[in-house]
């Protein structure tokens, strides 16, 4: 430029511009490198985690979740805002880099951006800077005026993060203004001097600033030009070095966090990566007890959280006032890491993570036991932060120390001695199927060496022993019988699947249950497994190894309906409106959303409504398995909230496909005062009730008989 000096030529404060800006670059880059290196210290000391496999699958995730911002639109307004900001940042990255180099070498042009391409890129980035600036203004207004509830920080979790968020948003806005001022002052000077003017995008921020500077004198323009450049430089490096101290660190870490995200989320993390079950006895301590027991990836999660609050906004434990909010599982761990691994100073570690605040611990036992492992937090997180593995690992640590809630000790002992949490006799496991009258209409084989079948119906503890849930077992058996399935059960040999035991952190007990069942299943010779319990389904499919193919009964029914093997009688009660509740371990954990709905929609005359929170946003009923034996402090039951959601949707019949959901929902209907106004039914029960059987009147007969068996079998216990 002829009429004002370029940044390298300027001599502010008696220092040549080139020297000044080179110094800023070097200091900025070195400081940033040092800070990041210090942030990596705990990751180096962390536990192993195998995340280097399947590079193409990981790259695909980066394209989808990072570049494609896949999860952001789940929150329409904030998501769209974030997409604009992210796109702006991506577009502006090269421009920012070029501007930095211009301070040292004025004639620098980014390769590929000379001539028309460069001019077009400048136009695009003028708009990008404007959009990012506007987004910052909107975000600040949202934070200050509209104050979305999910950003709030309850007093028990510390101070509000608003000031930090506003500070960072303002810095980005300043960066955009400085960048635009630099371009505007340059264009205004060119215009002033009668040179050809670099085109600025009409109505963009640089364009508007250029218009505002139109009548400014050349010396003043020179000052604006220099100020724009200097502020851009300083803000850029300040932001770069400040971000690793707070939530904005995700700008640097999110790409890596998504690349290294768990590919097989449905499979629970092993106790120690790289240690097989056979060698677990050599592991000194199970689970996470101190910060360094987390894996490096879990620590990366802590750095990558954007504090958006979506996880907690969807967490049922948080919604009912349990002492758990997943967002703060992360935030507290990050604060712990920053405090114990400071950028300047010595690292200190070893404090137990669970315990009293006074002793420096960050979590309470109740907080960790409050999780139902429903997966809503993970489903929602745009940065793929993992929670279930961490929570289970923290529980493993507590179990290892003998720190198990009182109410859980009895069911855990019963599981150890009897193979079920109720402490019932093994020989009574098949009572639900053995009632004489039931055997006459639906013979259920007990599989053994001389009594084989193609299909094993894995019943699991609750359906085997709970009087009410036995009805689900009988309905399932009758459906299998109806479609001509050659099936049987393991009977007394079957033990609890161990699904909840594992999620409660009792890995050794889980392994014993699993190994026993694996042997029994293999000995049965069955070529496929069917279950009506999503928890058993998840365990058999993901926690067990080398099993025959496993299906949930809803999948079997949907297939047989399509094949024409199951036909339905119409619903007789015209006033019934059905809402399907997605069980977490069928829906979110295994993506079985459509089969149960297809089955319901195949029943003539069935009116079905969707709850607002359905499918992958389904709201947990309160947790299955051992959650039935543990009652955390809460303001309201999750089940009550769920039945209220169904009522709001206009339903008076809740259908689910899980015996644990059934316990919680039926209980919640009573607690919510909806008795007489709402009922609950399992999908298998409804199908059994509505199946058009060859013999007229068989439906009514079977329904009546079902009730009698409940009485008959319960009398045997």
Note the residues at the interface with ligand SF4 (CB under 6 A).
305-311, 315-317, 324, 326-327, 330, 371-377, 380-381, 383, 385, 387-388
Provide the minimum distance between the beta carbon of 313 and ligand SF4 in the complex, in angstroms, as a whole number.
Answer: 8
- Candidates 183, 277, 234; CA nearest to 512 is 277
Q: What are the CB-based long-range contacts (under 8 Å, 24+) for 447-452? A: 447/488, 447/489, 447/490, 447/491, 447/524, 447/525, 447/526, 448/524, 449/523, 451/488, 452/488, 452/524, 452/525, 452/526
What distance in Å separates the CA atoms of residue 69 and residue 82, rounded to the nearest whole number? Answer: 9
Question: What is the closest distance, in whole angstroms, from the C-beta atom of residue 651 to ligand SF4 in the complex?
Answer: 23
Give least dist CB 401 to ligand SF4, A: 21
Query: Considering the complex, what minimum distance in angstroms separates the CB of residue 68 from ligand SF4?
Result: 17
Distance CA(106)–CA(186), nearest Å, equals 13
Choose between 35 and 305: whose C-beta lies nearer to ligand SF4.
305
Q: Do residues 589 and 375 make contact, with C-beta atoms less than 8 angstroms apart?
A: yes
Q: Report the residue number, 380 or 688, with the smaller CB distance to ligand SF4.
A: 380
DSSP code string of 366-398: HHHHT-----HHHHH-TT----HHHHHHHHHHH
Nearest residue to 35 via CA among 332, 246, 245? 245
Minimum Å gap between C-beta 388 and ligand SF4 is 6
Rounded-to-integer distance, Cα 507 and Cα 628, Å: 19
Considering the complex, state which of residue 287 and residue 375 has its C-beta at the smaller distance from ligand SF4.
375
Task: Give me 16's structure tokens.
Answer: 């040549």
In this complex, which beta carbon is closest to ligand SF4, that of residue 258 or of residue 558?
258
User: Nearest distance from residue 385's CB to ligand SF4, in Å?
Assistant: 4
- Sheet of 487-489: strands edge to edge? 445-446, 487-489, 455-458, 528-531, 550-552
CA distance 250 to 165: 13
Nearest approach, Cβ of 631 to ligand SF4 (angstroms)?
15
Identity of the residue, 69 or 373, whose beta carbon is nearer to ligand SF4 in the bound complex: 373
Q: Which residue, among 510, 515, 557, has the nearest Cα to 532 in the 3D structure?
A: 557
Nearest of 665, 696, 701 to residue 478 by alpha carbon: 701
Least CB distance from residue 324 to ligand SF4, whole Å? 6
Tokens of 511: 């392994």
Show the beta-strand stretches assigned E in 313-436: none
CB of 467 to ligand SF4, least distance (A): 28
Closest to ligand SF4 by CB, 371 vs 663, is 371
Residue 136 vs 308, nearer CB to ligand SF4: 308
Q: Which pair of tokens denotes residue 225? A: 């030009």
Cβ distance to ligand SF4 smaller for residue 72 or 541:
72
Minimum distance, C-beta of residue 437 to ligand SF4, in the bound complex (Å)? 42
Q: Which is nearer to ligand SF4, 333 or 456 (CB)?
A: 333
Nearest distance from C-beta of residue 584 to ligand SF4, angstroms? 8
Write down the least CB distance from residue 315 to ligand SF4, Å.
3
User: What ranges in 569-609 are assigned the alpha helix state H?
Assistant: 594-601
H helical segments located in 579-658: 594-601, 638-648
Q: How far is the CB of 374 from ligand SF4 (least distance, A)?
A: 4
Token pair listed for 28:
């900025």
Angstrom distances, CA of residue 236 to CA of 176, 242, 620? 10, 10, 44
529: β partners = 456, 550
| HSE toward the beta carbon, residue 542, CA cutoff 13 A | 19
In the chain, the N- to C-terminal Cα span, in Å, equals 94
Output the CA–CA distances (angstroms, integers) from residue 112 to 87, 103, 119, 120, 371, in the order listed.
Answer: 20, 20, 11, 12, 52
- For ligand SF4, the closer of residues 242 and 387 by Cβ is 387
CB atoms within 10 A of CB 103: 23
Tell the smallest beta-carbon distance from residue 376 to ligand SF4 (Å).
4
Nearer Cβ to ligand SF4, position 223 or 617? Answer: 617
Nearer of residues 376 and 558 to ligand SF4, judged by Cβ: 376
- The alpha carbon of residue 204 and the mean position of all alpha carbons in its chain are separated, in whole angstroms, by 38
Both tokens assigned to 48: 């192993």
**Closer by beta carbon to ligand SF4, 380 or else 685:** 380
Give the strand order in the sheet containing 607-609: 607-609, 577-580, 653-656, 679-682
Q: Report the residue number, 310 or 499, with the smaller CB distance to ligand SF4.
A: 310
Nearer to ligand SF4, 328 or 709 (CB): 328
Q: Name the minimum Å distance from CB 589 to ligand SF4.
A: 10
- In DSSP notation, 515-551 reads HHHHHHHHHHT-SEEEES-HHHHHIIIIISSSPPPEE
Residue 15 CB, nearest approach to ligand SF4 (Å): 42
Nearer to ligand SF4, 241 or 305 (CB): 305
């Amino acid at each position: 430029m002829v009429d004002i000096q370029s940044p390298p030529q300027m001599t502010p404060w008696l220092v040549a511009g080139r020297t000044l800006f080179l110094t800023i670059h070097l200091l900025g880059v070195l400081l940033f490198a040092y800070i990041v290196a210090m942030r990596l210290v705990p990751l180096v000391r962390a536990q192993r985690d195998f995340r280097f496999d399947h590079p193409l699958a990981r790259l695909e995730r980066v394209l989808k979740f990072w570049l494609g911002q896949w999860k952001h639109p789940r929150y329409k307004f904030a998501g769209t805002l974030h997409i604009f900001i992210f796109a702006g940042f991506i577009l502006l990255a090269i421009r920012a880099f070029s501007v930095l180099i211009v301070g040292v070498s004025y004639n620098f042009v980014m390769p590929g951006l000379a001539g028309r391409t460069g001019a077009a890129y400048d136009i695009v980035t003028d708009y990008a800077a404007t959009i990012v600036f506007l987004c910052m203004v909107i975000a600040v207004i949202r934070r200050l005026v509209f104050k979305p509830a999910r950003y709030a920080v309850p007093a028990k979790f510390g101070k509000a993060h608003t000031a930090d968020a506003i500070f960072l948003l303002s810095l980005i806005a300043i960066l955009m203004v400085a960048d635009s001022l630099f371009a505007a002052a340059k264009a205004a000077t060119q215009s002033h001097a009668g040179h050809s003017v670099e085109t600025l995008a009409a109505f963009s921020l640089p364009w508007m600033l250029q218009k505002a500077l139109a009548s400014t004198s050349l010396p003043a323009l020179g000052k604006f030009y220099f100020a724009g450049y200097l502020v851009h430089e300083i803000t850029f490096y300040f932001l770069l070095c400040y971000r690793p101290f707070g939530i904005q660190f995700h700008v640097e870490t999110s790409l890596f966090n998504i690349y290294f995200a768990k590919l097989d989320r449905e499979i629970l993390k092993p106790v120690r990566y790289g240690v097989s079950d056979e060698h677990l006895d050599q592991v000194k301590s199970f689970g996470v007890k101190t910060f360094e027991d987390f894996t490096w990836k879990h620590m990366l999660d802590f750095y990558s959280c954007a504090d958006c609050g979506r996880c907690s906004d969807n967490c049922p434990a948080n919604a009912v006032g349990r002492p758990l909010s997943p967002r703060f599982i992360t935030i507290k761990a990050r604060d712990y890491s920053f405090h114990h691994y400071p950028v300047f100073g010595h690292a200190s570690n070893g404090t137990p993570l669970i315990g009293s605040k006074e002793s420096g611990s960050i979590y309470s036992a109740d907080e960790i036991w409050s999780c139902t492992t429903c997966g809503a937090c993970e489903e929602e997180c745009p940065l793929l932060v993992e929670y279930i593995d961490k929570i289970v690992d923290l529980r493993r640590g507590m179990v290892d120390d003998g720190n198990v809630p009182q109410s859980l000790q009895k069911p855990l002992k019963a599981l150890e001695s009897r193979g079920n949490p109720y402490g019932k006799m093994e020989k009574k496991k098949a009572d639900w199927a053995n009632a004489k009258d039931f055997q006459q209409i639906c013979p259920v084989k007990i599989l053994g060496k001389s009594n084989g079948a193609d299909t094993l119906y894995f019943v699991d503890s609750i359906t085997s022993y709970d009087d009410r849930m036995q009805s689900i077992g009988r309905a399932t058996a009758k459906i299998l019988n109806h479609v001509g399935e050659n099936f049987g059960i393991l009977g007394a040999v079957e033990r609890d699947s161990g699904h909840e035991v594992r999620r409660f952190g009792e890995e050794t007990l889980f392994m014993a249950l699993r190994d026993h069942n694996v042997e029994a299943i293999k000995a049965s010779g069955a070529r496929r497994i069917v279950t009506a319990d999503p928890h058993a389904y998840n365990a058999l499919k993901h926690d067990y190894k080398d099993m025959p193919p496993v299906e949930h009964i809803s999948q079997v029914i949907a297939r047989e309906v399509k094949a024409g093997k199951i036909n339905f009688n119409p619903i007789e009660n015209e006033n019934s409106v059905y809402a399907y509740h997605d069980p977490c371990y069928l829906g979110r954990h295994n993506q079985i959303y459509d089969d149960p709905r297809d089955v319901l929609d195949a029943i003539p005359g069935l009116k079905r409504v969707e709850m607002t929170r359905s499918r992958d946003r389904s709201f947990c009923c309160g947790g299955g398995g051992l959650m039935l034996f543990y009652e955390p402090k809460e303001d309201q039951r999750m089940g009550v909230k769920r039945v209220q959601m169904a009522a709001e949707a206009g339903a008076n019949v809740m259908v689910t496909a899980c015996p644990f959901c059934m316990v919680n929902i039926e209980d919640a209907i009573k607690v919510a005062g909806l008795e007489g106004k709402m009922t609950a039914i399992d999908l298998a029960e409804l199908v059994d009730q509505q199946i058009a059987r060859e013999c007229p009147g068989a439906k009514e007969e079977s329904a009546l008989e079902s009730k009698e068996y409940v009485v008959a079998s319960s009398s045997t216990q």
